[in-house]
């Protein structure tokens, strides 16, 4: 695999896919989607950092370390976005209910304005994923896209939101 042998990767994949998935299913406390995402990231990390090992035990230890790190990183990332979007959810739900003077927190104002800069489909994907907690598979079916396309659009929308929030908040501090 270290030399780019595709057959070696397929052999590795066949041998370790189920075992790593079961391991990650336990690590993610039964969250199948999180386990699958972490497994995908683990395989990417393996391809990037593969090296020879002298024993199966050492290799499995390294694999579990990569898998656990991938699951932890994904969990942290989800938590960060969840916290940010939870604040937006409060304002979003209040607007749906036509409640006035909801927010005292400037972040809600910034987030609402930043969300408006997204394309309507991207905004709906963000709201679906983080406010309604829909899975990527559900969003793909709803918007008639592939799961990979949904993941790409979500990544791009999150990046745009982050940049827009940063720009708006830095501008506000300068005033």
Residue in this structure with the two tokens 């709803």, named with its chain if needed = 142
Question: Confidence band (pLDDT; 50, 70, 90) for 130?
Answer: confident
In angstroms, the first-to-last Cα distance of the chain is 55
CA-to-CA distance for 91 and 113, rounded, in angstroms? 12
Q: Are 2 and 52 in contact (CB under 8 A)?
A: yes
Tens of pLDDT, residue by residue over 11-44, are 888 888 999 999 999 998 888 888 888 999 999 8
Read off the pTM. 0.46
The residue behind tokens 């090992």 is 53
Query: Does 171 score more than 70 pLDDT?
Result: no
- Locate 19 and state its tokens: 């075992």
Coil, strand or helix at 103: coil
Q: Is 37 exposed, middle or buried (0-12, 13-18, 19+ CB in 10 A)?
A: buried
Is 56 exposed, middle or buried (CB count within 10 Å of its CB: 0-12, 13-18, 19+)?
Answer: exposed
Q: Comparing 41-45, 156-160, 166-170, which segment has the lowest mean pLDDT?
A: 166-170
Q: pLDDT over 90 for what percent of the chain?
A: 33
- Give the whole-angstrom CA distance, residue 92 versus residue 98: 10
Decide if 150 contacts 122 (C-beta within 8 A): no
In this prediction, residues 124-132 reach a mean pLDDT of 88
Q: Using the structure block, give the residue that is written with the tokens 């800069």.
A: 117
Helices (H), the chain: 6-27, 32-49, 56-96, 106-116, 120-126, 136-143, 147-174
Question: What domains can be seen in the chain, in order of their start residue?
Answer: 6-75 (1.10.1740), 103-174 (1.10.10.10)
Report in angstroms the alpha-carbon separations of 110 from 39, 93, 166.
35, 16, 9
């Amino acid at each position: 695999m270290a030399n780019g042998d595709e057959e070696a990767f397929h052999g590795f994949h066949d041998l370790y896919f189920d075992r790593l998935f079961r391991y990650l299913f336990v690590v993610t406390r039964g969250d199948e989607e999180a386990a699958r995402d972490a497994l995908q990231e683990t395989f990417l990390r393996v391809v990037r950092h593969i090296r020879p090992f002298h024993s199966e035990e050492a290799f499995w230890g390294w694999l579990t370390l990569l898998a656990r790190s991938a699951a932890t990183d994904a969990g942290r990332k989800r938590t960060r976005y969840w916290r940010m979007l939870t604040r937006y959810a409060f304002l979003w739900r209040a607007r749906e209910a036509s409640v006035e003077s909801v927010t005292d927190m400037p972040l809600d104002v910034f987030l609402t304005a930043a969300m408006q800069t997204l394309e309507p489909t991207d905004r709906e994907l963000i709201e679906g994923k983080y406010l309604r907690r829909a899975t990527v598979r559900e969003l793909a079916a709803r918007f008639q896209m592939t799961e990979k396309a949904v993941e790409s659009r979500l990544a791009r929308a999150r990046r745009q939101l982050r940049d827009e929030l940063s720009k708006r908040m830095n501008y506000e501090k300068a005033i």
